[in-house]
Amino acid sequence: MSEEDEFELEPIEILELPLDAWHRDKGARMVEFAGYHMPIQYEGIMAEHIWTRENAGLFDVSHMGQLMLTGDGAAEALEALVPGDISALKEGKMRYSLLLAEDGGVLDDMMITAAPMGLYVVVNGAVKWDDMGYLREYLPDEITINNMEDRALLALQGPKAVDALKRVVPGVDALYFMEAGSFFWGPKTDPEPLWISRSGYTGEDGFEISVPATHAKALADQLCAQPEVKPIGLGARDSLRLEAGLPLYGHDMNPELEPVEANAAFAISKRRRAEGGFAGSDRILEALANGPARKLVGLSVEGKMPVREGAPIFVGEAQVGVITSGGFGPSVGAPIAMGYVDAAHNAVGTMLAAEVRGKRVSITVANLPFIPHHYHRKGANT
C-alpha cells in the first residue's frame, strides 16, 4: 500500500438544501451548483426570466453563506479586509463590498448589513468556506464569526414583489433599496421574526429574506400562493443578473483582479480612498488614480449567435481581452456578454471581435446595465 492510498479522498457529497423536496415537487430540474443540488429551471429559463421582469420570482439562494460578525470593533476590524466604509453604516443599512486578498485581489463579493446584533454578511456559496477561513485568520480573536447554517435565504424579485410580500409580511414596503430590518411573519400568537432586506441580483425591485430553515417551506408555499409569484431557477437568475450588468463571482471576478479592474470602484468608499489602510490598498488606489490596465465591460453582440465565457476578444490579430459571462438576454432579445478588455480598447462604443468556434463575431463595448435597474431608492420619483 503506497502512501498516497492512505490519503485518497472520499468523493465529495453533494448536499441538500432545506427546500430540496419542495423544488422537486414544483417540477424543478436539479443540477449541482456550489456543492448543493439546486434548481436550474422549472417551466423554462425564458418564461421564468420574463415572469420575473414583469411580476415576481421566488429564488432559493440558501446555498449562500449567511454570516454574523459580532464583538466590539467588528466594523473597524472588517475594514482591514474590505474597501467600504463599514464603521459608518447605520443600523438597518447595507453596502455591497468585496473581500480582498493581501495583494488587493478580489476573494469574493458580499453584502454587509449593520444588524442589531452585529454585521450580517451574505457571501457566495461557492467560496463561503474559504471566506470563513480567511476572515477567521485575519480578524482579531475577539470578533466572533457565526455561520448561520440553520437559516435559509429566499429572494423575491420583480416589480410586483412588494405587493406580494407586504400581504404576507406587513410593513416590508417601508424599506427602501439597500435597507434591512426584522419583521414578524405568521400568527399573531406565535410570530416568527424574519430578517428582510430590500436588495437582490436581478436589477429589479425586490427583497431577500432570511428565514429559519425549519420554516422555509411554509414561507415559500405562502409566497408562491400569491398570484404574482412563481418559483424561478438558477438559469434565469444568471440571465437576469447578466442583463442587469451584475458580476458573477468566479467568472467576472477572481483573485487575480482588483476591484477597479472588476468595475467595482463604486464599492471603494470616499473615506477609504482618502485614508487607504485596507488589504491591497496601494495597488487599488493606484488603479483608481491612473486607470486600470484592463477593465470589466459590457459587450453587445452583433447577430444572434451567443458568445460564451472563455471566448477571446481581438482587435485585428491582437488579443485584447476575454469574455467572462455571455449568453442570450431574454429581455434584451439578443446575445449579451461581459468581459475584460485592455485599457486602450475598452471605451464605450469601441468595435471589437470575439472568436467563437474559429469564427469572428462583431462585438461592441456597451454601457452597463443592458436593462435599466428598477430599484426602490429613497428620494427617487416613483
- 144 within 8 A of 97, measured Cβ to Cβ: no
Q: Is 203 in the site for another protein (CB under 8 A)?
A: no
- 363 within 8 A of 313, measured Cβ to Cβ: yes
Q: Is 339 in the site for another protein (CB under 8 A)?
A: no
User: Measured between alpha carbons, how far is residue 221 from residues 41, 229, 235, 256 in Å?
Assistant: 18, 10, 21, 42
In this structure, what C-alpha cell is assigned to residue 323?
Answer: 469574455
Q: Is 49 in the site for another protein (CB under 8 A)?
A: yes
Interaction mask 70-89, another protein, x per CB under 8 A:
--------------------
Of 125, 259, 298, 306, the one binding another protein by CB under 8 A: 306
Q: Is 325 in the site for another protein (CB under 8 A)?
A: no
Q: How far is the CB of 8 from another protein (least distance, A)?
A: 30
Q: Which stretch binds another protein (CB under 8 A): 15-23, 181-189, 305-313, 367-375?
A: 305-313
DSSP at 244: T
Cβ proximity to another protein: between 321 and 329 the closer is 329
CB atoms within 10 A of CB 333: 9
User: Measured between alpha carbons, how far is residue 361 from residues 201, 243, 306 in Å?
Assistant: 29, 20, 9
Q: Which stretch binds another protein (CB under 8 A): 132-140, 169-177, 256-264, 326-334?
A: 326-334
User: Measured between alpha carbons, how far is residue 265 from residues 290, 294, 319 in Å?
Assistant: 13, 13, 25
User: Of residues 219-248, which lie at the interface with another protein (CB under 8 A)?
Assistant: 235, 238-239
Q: Is 335 in the site for another protein (CB under 8 A)?
A: yes
Q: Is 305 in the site for another protein (CB under 8 A)?
A: yes
User: Measured between alpha carbons, how far is residue 40 from residues 209, 235, 266 in Å?
Assistant: 20, 5, 31
Q: Is 327 in the site for another protein (CB under 8 A)?
A: yes
Which residues contact another protein by CB under 8 A? 40-41, 44-47, 49, 235, 238-239, 304-306, 308, 327-328, 330, 335, 357
